[in-house]
Structure formats: structure tokens, C-alpha cells
Structure 1
Amino acid sequence: MKNVACIADLHRLASRKVPRAFFDYVCAGSYEEETLRANIDDLRKVKLRQRVLVDMSGRDLSTTILGEKVPLPIALAPVALTGLQHGNGEILAAQAANDAGIPYTLSTMSICSIEQVAEATGKPFWFQLYMMRDRSFIAELIGRARAANCSALVLTVDLQVLGQRHCDVRNGLSVPPEFRLGNILNMATKPAWLLSVLKSKSRTFGNLAGHVKGMEDVKSLAQWTATQFDQGLSWDDIAWVKSQWPGKLILKGILDVQDARLAVKSGADAIVVSNHGGRQLDGAASSISILPDIVDAVGSEIEIMFDGGIRTGMDVMRALALGAKSCLVGRPYAWGVGAGGKAGAAKAIDILAKELDVTLALCGYKRVADINREAVAVATSAMKVTAPAHC
């Protein structure tokens, strides 16, 4: 990972190493990508308050996530098809997260299965669940997560219908998938990637293959999954999930104060303020613009995590200053996996940690636990951030 200085470097490196269709899959937002861009742009509009002549020695980036002490206020978010960024991509990302001491979240739509990740890591991880109409399959899937000693269940609540990503349609990553000559030729130009995938433990949806009768290949599994997203999913179903899952429950995809209050009533342990990385409702508000209102409404009642647009350690600082307890990071580590496997994922985590450390110091804080809205100098008017009284 020489000459990699920032997440943008990992993005560029991955773009050269990963076949176009799979690289685009991670990068894309839905429709015109307004929300994808807003996630990034609105974070950058939050200007931090620089302090000087403050004792910056002995800094501490540690915090707690779901009651567990971690060295960084970061968890790796679920990213589907990480195993097609690099062979065994989910395992490599989980191992990098373990080495850093932070949580890793495995997607339902992963290439490596729950069992493969558990065997290769030997440590607990989080499992992200998409609710499907086949409740017997979902009950089995949750049971497999329990058997693998997963430490939290992350229920995605904003995917009852699938937002269209135009580049996926153009690249043939539709339902059913189209194996186009252009994609095959492009893969042939990536021999290192091809070798890693050929040597991987799985090359299909590992959590589905062998568990859905008659659905063994990528094409049939993709078709089955597309018919299974439960459009009838409602708050009443949270109780059923809790009956199947006795551990910590995180609801991912909360972007409205009323929904945040309902999440508290549901008995969830935490929520993730998120718009699915701009991959669902295009034209939705950015995650960071909604975060302060949700924090003000329910921050004293439930743990609040943040997801959407993080590309730097400064972005992590911005989210923490506006009230998040921790941040989920997706695309940066996925680009790291594509750029260099486990080493690339580790580099992404290291970059974010070092940038956060410097930012913490220059904002005049010693501990992540002390960050508050006084760290914000300027924010968009929609965020309703109150300036410090002594400013």
C-alpha cells in the first residue's frame, strides 16, 4: 500500500484492479445520484472549530459501541458483493476489522457465507439482515447468525423496494444478471482479480446458496431475491425479529424523527441514521442534515450511529460533533479491499483513524468521548446547529 495517502487513492487503485461492473456497483447511487452527492457535499459544509494553545497530548480515540469498548468510533458497514471486489473480500475485511478492534458487518447479500467468515476469523461480527417474505428462511438465517456467535443483528429497514442504479442496468447487474461480452472481456484484463476470485471460498451468494431449494447459481438466486424483499414489512414485524434474535438489535436506515421515535418504542438497541448511501430514495435529505434533529429527539433514549458520505477522518469528526456515538463506513473499506485485499481494508481504517486523530487535536479535544457541538463552527442552516454561547 505504498504511496496511498488517502481514501481517494484507494478509490483510484480499486478502479484499476476491479472489473468495471463490480467497481461501479459499490460506487453508484440511485437514479440521478442527488442524495449520493448530498451526503458528501453536506458533510463538507460542516466546518470545524479550530482551537489553539490547548494541551493535545495523550489523545484517546476510544469509545463504546453497544456497550463494548473499541479503539475507534468506527464500524465497517455491510457492503453486498464485497467478495467480488477481491476474492474472499468479506473475510479479508472482517480480519482487518478484527486487527483494528472494531466491528465488521456482514451483508445478507455477501459472497462469503456467515459460516465461512466465522471460521476464518474466529471472532464475533455483526450480521446485516434483509427481511424477506419467506419467514422460515429468515428464521433459519437468524439462527445461523446466532450459531456463528454474531454479536449484533443489523436490520436494514429502508429496502422494501429496490432503488434503480443506472450503471448496474448498463453493466448487466440487473435481475436476472446479464453476462455480457464487454464485462467478460473487461474481467479478462484483470488477471490478479480473476485469480483471487477463482481461488475464493465462494463465487455466489454464500448465505443463500444451498439454503434455498433449486436456487444454486447467481442468476437464479438473484431472481429469487428480487421477488423476496418484503414490501409489507412494518413496525409490527420488529417484535417477530426480536423473538428470533435475543441479542443486540440495530435498525439501519432511519432518516426521520418520527421513525426514530418509533424505533425507540420498538425496543431496538441502536439506530443508524442513514439513507442507504444514496442508493434508495433519490432526492432524500443527506444523512448529516437529519442527524442533529434525530439526536435532539431521541439521543438520550437510544444509541445513535451515523452512515452516509464518510470519506475522511474529518467526516467522522463532523458526525460525532453533531451527536452520533459512532460511524459506519462502507465504500472506503470496500475500495480498500478492491485495491489490496486485507491490506487495503486495513489501510482504509488506518487512514480514517489517523485523520480523526489529527482533527481531534486541532479542534482542541483529547478524547472522542468529549466531542460535542462546540466543535462545529459553521453548518448548513438546515442542520439547526447552535453555536457555543461564548462565541
Structure 2
Amino acid sequence: MTELAKRQIPRPAEIFELAKFKRPDLNARRRRLNAALTIHDLRAIAKRRTPRAVFDYTDGAAEGELSLARARQAFEDVEFHPSILRSVPEVDTSTTIFGGPSALPFGIAPTGFTRLMHTDGETAGAGAAGAAGIPFTLSTLGTTSIEDVKAANPHGRNWFQLYVMRDREVSYALTRRAAAAGFDTLFFTVDTPVAGARLRDKRNGFSIPPQLTPATVVNALPRPWWWWDFLTTPTLEFASLTSTGGTVGELLDSAMDPTISFEDLTTIRGMWPGRLVVKGVQTVEDSKKLADLGVDGIVLSNHGGRQLDRAPVPFRLLPEVVKEVGADMEIAIDTGIMNGADIVAATALGARFTLVGRAYLYGLMAGGREGVDRAVDILTDQVVRTMKLLQVPCLEELTPQHVTQLV
């Protein structure tokens, strides 16, 4: 039998030429974050490093969590249709939204209690957004003040999400403060007349601020770093509401008001100098009504599945809303986004912008500001790679022909 390859004794110089040994990274946080290749990887790290009640507050949704599961499944049930033989060495991911620029077709969604996930909280999110050239949205129930967010992102775009509270003067004061601080867009939120039933929180005995019980102590033992950060940093509070008085629970209850109406929208619009966007829209009919009222934009959202379970999936609702009102105002969506390909699919179906909430918070829990940077980098790489594989050079050339919703 003839030997196909001539054997020889390996020579060290050839081995080292073929195999480059990677220098070990002694920074545990950087090593941990660099090993995360997807948002799901960041979620797994966050779950290991954060007490269960806090992780479940972030990760969970209302009741059976069907709305969240369906939203994520809707993005997974996408089939892309790439072009071929187009020269696309680079792609342009920049866009304009609500009167200003964004380097990417996504921004950071408003989240409450953010310093609970990691003490860097909204400061990390705003700083990372500024560095990436994307907008950051502060919640009424944020744990960093309007003014401190502005300081963390002094040259970037800051947006403010407004709850119309039972005491309307509190909401009016927040609106004026956000305008004075240079926030350019206000999200008038309409999907929280009452709080959704978040069963994970109830089963965990979750409270704000966290209560120490035997169960929480046992769960905290493998996570001493979280408790050290929590106990040695400023008290967790609704930073923009500290002057209004009341306990955290009372303030949370006052943020939900079933009497909110179109009159409130008119009032807030009269005092807000920037772009006014209605967040939490879930039907075509309401989209048309808001377009007739002349609002600057809407966010199709079911509050991340945290309010009404079995609510419409924003991504599935998107094409019909775009068809009816897309020429009259800008449409953004949130809920269920875990991959840059989700963002590309939404853009192809007519969304002018997307907002990521949990994806950003998983990064925050995994590694503070560096973790948020990593989450943004992961999503950015996925957006760019998906566009290149579709052979689309810019967001404007993404069309419904690039996407099929399989189910």
C-alpha cells in the first residue's frame, strides 16, 4: 500500500507558526464578558451573579409570561431573503429618529429600579449609550435622577419616559425638569393603568427595597459581591421622585392611574417642547387615532410582557400599523429583542427604531458599565453581520421583501 503523506518528526518552529498561544487575561470581569458571544450568554452570567429575586424581577413577565415568550418566538420565526452578488464591503447602520441622529437602529429602553440590578444603574446605561452614539431613555421610576443622567451622557441624546401619576403635578414637574435638562424626546406611557401580576416576584417575596429573609440570605451566600455593592452604595430610591415624599411602595402605587386619558396627553403635549411619542400602543385603531392627533411617533409595546399577558406581539402588529400610519409618523417597537437580527427584521418591516430593555439589563447585571458596553457591541456586530449577509448597504434599503414571518 502506498503511503499518501510522508511522515516527519514535528519541528517546534513550525508548530509555533501554526498555533499562536493566547496570552491569558488576568482581569476576571473582562475575561467573563469577552467570553459572552450572545445576549443569552450575558443572561446566563447575570443569572449566576445576581440574587434570584432581582434576576427574576428583570427576567420575568406577567402571569404565565406568554406575551414575552410569544414576542421572542416571533423574532425566531423569521426567514430572511438575502440578495446575491452585490458589493457591500461596508454597511451604514446610522439612522434618524424623533428629530435626531442615532448611530444604530436601536437605543436603550426605560427600565425601573435599575440600580437594583447593579449599582452602576442608569449611569452605566447612559454612558454606554453616549459612547455608542445611541439614545438612552430614563424611566419615571429610574434610580438615577434626570440631572445625573444628563451628567453621565452630556453630549448624547437622552429621552424621558413619563408615567402620568395620580398627583398630576408630580408628572408635570418631571416633564419640566426633563425639558430643562435638555432631554429631547418624551415617551408618554399608556399601558400601565394598573400593575401587571408578576408572579415570579410574588413567589420570591420580592420587595423594593429588598427584604432580608432566611431564603434571601441563603441565596445571597454565593453572590457576596452583589450584596457588598448594594449595602455600601447610596440607598435605592426613585431618584427623580425623592422630593415628592412617600415610601417606595406608595410612589410605585401612585405611578399607576386608571384615570389617564387623552386629556392628559393634550396637557403634557402643551408643556413639552420636544418630540412627543406615545409608548405602549397595541392596536391599529389607536395608532390611527394618535396619527390623527399629530403625535410625533409611537412605540408599539406591550411593556415587555410585564402588564397584560396575551397582549399583542409588537413585531407581529408592526406591518399593519406601518401600512396604516407609517407615512404620518415614526414607529418604534420593543419587547422580545435578543439579537441584532431581530433589529434588522423589525427595520425591514418598517420600524424606524427599536428599544432594548432586558438585553441591556443582562449586560448590566453581568458586569456593570462594561457589561452594558458588551451588550451593545454584541447587538451591533449582529446587526452589521446580518446586513452584510443580506447584502444590504444601509437601513433604508431593508424592505419587507427581505423578511418572511413564518408563523
Q: What's the CA shift string for 1:9-35, capped at 9, x where partnerless? A: 100111111111111111111001111
Q: Aligned partners of 2:76 and 2:373: how far apart in 1? A: 24
DSSP-derived class of the 1:207 partner: helix
Q: What's the CA shift string for 1:156-190, capped at 9, x where partnerless? A: 11001111110111122358975533224433532
Q: Aligned partners of 1:324 and 1:224: how far apart in 2? A: 34
Q: Aligned partners of 1:330 and 1:275: how far apart in 2? A: 12
In angstroms, what is the RMSD of aligned CA positions? 1.7
DSSP-derived class of the 2:277 partner: strand
Asked if the contact 1:188–1:194 (Cα under 8 Å) also holds between the matched residues in 2, the reply is: no
Q: What pairs up with 1:201-350 in 2 under 5 angstroms?
A: 201-209=234-242, 211-213=243-245, 215=246, 220-350=247-377
Q: Aligned partners of 1:186 and 1:103: how far apart in 2? A: 35
Residue of structure 2 in register with 1:368 after alignment: 395
Per-residue deviation, 1:72: 0.4
Asked if the contact 2:284–2:320 (Cα under 8 Å) also holds between the matched residues in 1, the reply is: yes
Residue of structure 1 in register with 2:91 after alignment: 59
TM-aligned CA distance change 1:29 to 1:15, over 3 Å: same
Q: Amino acid of the residue matched to residue 138 of structure 2?
A: L
Residue of structure 1 in register with 2:205 after alignment: 172
Q: Compute the TM-score of the two structures, normalised by the length of structure 2.
A: 0.88
TM-aligned CA distance change 1:157 to 1:313, over 3 Å: same
Residue of structure 1 in register with 2:57 after alignment: 25
Q: Aligned partners of 2:141 and 2:377: how far apart in 1? A: 26
Q: Tell me the number of residue pairs that the alignment of Structure 1 and Structure 2 aligns.
A: 374
Asked if the contact 2:120–2:369 (Cα under 8 Å) also holds between the matched residues in 1, the reply is: no
Q: Amino acid of the residue matched to residue 27 of structure 1?
A: D
Per-residue deviation, 1:293: 0.6
Q: What's the CA shift string for 1:71-100, capped at 9, x where partnerless? A: 101110011111111103110111000000
Q: Compute the TM-score of the two structures, normalised by the length of structure 1.
A: 0.91
Residue of structure 1 in register with 2:9 after alignment: none
Q: What's the CA shift string for 1:181-234, capped at 9, x where partnerless? A: 32244335322222333454552221222x123x2xxxx221342144210111
Q: Aligned partners of 1:202 and 1:108: how far apart in 2? A: 17
Judge which range, 48-57 or 151-160, deviates more.
48-57
* 1:196 lines up with 2:223 in the alignment: no
Q: Please identify the structure whose Cα radius of gyration is greater.
A: 2
Asked if the contact 2:208–2:248 (Cα under 8 Å) also holds between the matched residues in 1, the reply is: no
Q: Amino acid of the residue matched to residue 35 of structure 1?
A: S
Per-residue deviation, 1:285: 2.1
Identity %: 37
Q: What's the CA shift string for 1:137-162, capped at 9, x where partnerless? A: 11111122122211211111100111
Asked if the contact 1:264–1:301 (Cα under 8 Å) also holds between the matched residues in 2, the reply is: yes
DSSP-derived class of the 2:134 partner: coil
Judge which range, 321-330 or 189-198, deviates more.
189-198
DSSP-derived class of the 2:373 partner: helix
2:181 corresponds, among 148, 154, 169, to 148
DSSP-derived class of the 1:208 partner: helix
DSSP-derived class of the 1:23 partner: helix
Mind listing any 5+ residue stretches in structure 1 that lack a counterpart? 382-391
Asked if the contact 1:172–1:180 (Cα under 8 Å) also holds between the matched residues in 2, the reply is: no
Q: Amino acid of the residue matched to residue 89 of structure 1?
A: G
Asked if the contact 1:38–1:285 (Cα under 8 Å) also holds between the matched residues in 2, the reply is: no
Mind listing any 5+ residue stretches in structure 2 that lack a counterpart? 1-32
Residue of structure 2 in register with 1:379 after alignment: 405
Q: Amino acid of the residue matched to residue 104 of structure 1?
A: F
TM-aligned CA distance change 1:184 to 1:263, over 3 Å: farther
Q: Aligned partners of 2:217 and 2:268: how far apart in 1? A: 40
